[in-house]
Amino acid sequence: MLIHRPFHQLPLNRRGRDFVVGDVHGHAALLDHLLAAVRFDTACDRLIALGDLIDRGPDSLALLTRVEKLPWFYSLRGNHEAMLQDSSRNVMSALLWYRNGGQWGQEIADETLHALIRLVDGLPLAMTLPLADGRRIGLIHAEVPVGMSWSDVEALNRQHRRPLQDRDRDPDDDSLAATVLWGRTRITACEGLRSLVHPERLSMSRLASLRCALQPVAGIDQIIAGHSYSQDRRPIASANVLFIDTGVFEHDGRLTLLEPLRQRCWQARYDRHRQPQIIDDEGEPAPRPRALPAAFA
């Protein structure tokens, strides 16, 4: 389903279940296998992808057009959709997309490419998902900038004074629109913390930087994000942020599907014959944030 605005508030799903999937990157077979495993009901359930439906897999075109055709299938805009959108501007932007998995764009007609660019215009940057237990879940591709709250994200529509595609293309831009597509500060801090042996030896400036990046995002119960995949191919929790990109396009990668209400994850991967397989049919509990070392107190 297309939204055509930067931020969208989903209505409460009173009839079925809601599922959130990490970066699919063209791997429709794994996604379909996961939906079958959870007995997804298209009459009442909803699926929200966190962006990066495309590139690095065999089914980019089919996956992106599903969002337009299926009323139960929502998707955020990821940085790969932003690169697709940018590709028609100049040769350098097109080459950037091709180098990052967008080679399939060279194989489709210009008319189809322009239709996809218009489709990407309908993908929001963020959504709020209300749950039956009263919690509110923020859905975003990359991250909320450090120091900002979810209310800043909810205000994206009021900030929408010029076309979104004119504001979200620069990965070095530190604006809100760019950071929700490209930012990696929070997950980099989280992965750094997991490998930290002697936090007491950190410099005061480094310690302060990590503390800031590991703080919860205010104004929302939980945020679910993709974009940066975990090194161990498992979801990562930091404060109230849960990262569920698990590197589907890597040789040992997985695709992760989460049911936010139950906080359970299912993962699919390819076996040695490149056939989709579910790792755990019953799903596993989503990880909880690790306690911070004493040095962070």
Residue 167 pLDDT: 44
Q: Which residues pair with 127 in a beta bridge?
A: 8, 139
Dump pLDDT digits (tens) for 126-149: 999 999 999 999 999 999 999 999
What are the residue boundaries of the structural domains of the chain, listed by start?
7-296
Q: For domain 7-296, is the CATH number 3.60.21.10?
A: yes
**Edge-to-edge strands, sheet with 126-130:** 7-9, 126-130, 136-140, 222-225, 241-243, 236-238
pTM: 0.93
Q: Which residues pair with 265 in a beta bridge?
A: 258, 284
β-bridge pairing 126-130 and 7-9: parallel
Residue 211 pLDDT: 84
Residue 133 pLDDT: 98
Spans of the chain below 50 pLDDT: 164, 167-168
Question: Which active-site residues does the annotation give?
Answer: 80
> For every residue of the chain, which 3-state class applies, written as one string?
CCCCCCEEECCCCCCCCEEEECCCCCCHHHHHHHHHHCCCCCCCCEEEECCCCCCCCCCHHHHHHHHHHCCCEEECCCHHHHHHHHCCCCHHHHHHHHHHHHHHHHHCCHHHHHHHHHHHCCCCCEEEEECCCCCEEEEECCCCCCCCCHHHHHHHHCCCCCCHHHCCCCCCCCCHHHHHHHCCHHHHHHHHHHCCCCHHHCCHHHHHHHHHHCCCCCCCCEEEECCCCCCCCCCEEECCEEECCCCCCCCCCCEEEEECCCCEEEEEEECCCCCEEECCCCCEECCCCCCCCHHHC
- Sign (positive/negative) of CA torsion 237, 242, 245, 246? positive
Q: CA-CA distance, 93 to 113, in Å (whole number)?
A: 14
Residue 170 pLDDT: 54
Residue 171 pLDDT: 52
